[in-house]
Amino acid sequence: MLTSRAKYALRACTVMAELKPANVWTSAADLAEAADVPRKFLEAILTQLRDANLVESRRGPAGGHRLFGAPDAVSAADVIRAIDGPLAMTPCASATAFRACDDCEAVETCRLRHLMRRARDAVADVLENCSLLELSKEGLLF
Domain range summary for the chain, segments of one domain joined by +: 4-138
pLDDT of residue 142: 47
Residue 90 reports pLDDT greater than 70 = yes
| pLDDT confidence band for 93 (50 / 70 / 90) | confident
Report d(CA 29, CA 37) in Å as an integer: 9
Look at residue 139 and tell me whether its pLDDT is greater than 80. Answer: no
When the pLDDT of each residue in the chain is averaged and rounded to a whole number, the result is 90
CATH code of the region 4-138: 1.10.10.10
Q: What pTM value is reported for the model?
A: 0.88
pLDDT in tens, 37-74: 999 999 999 999 999 999 999 998 888 999 999 999 99
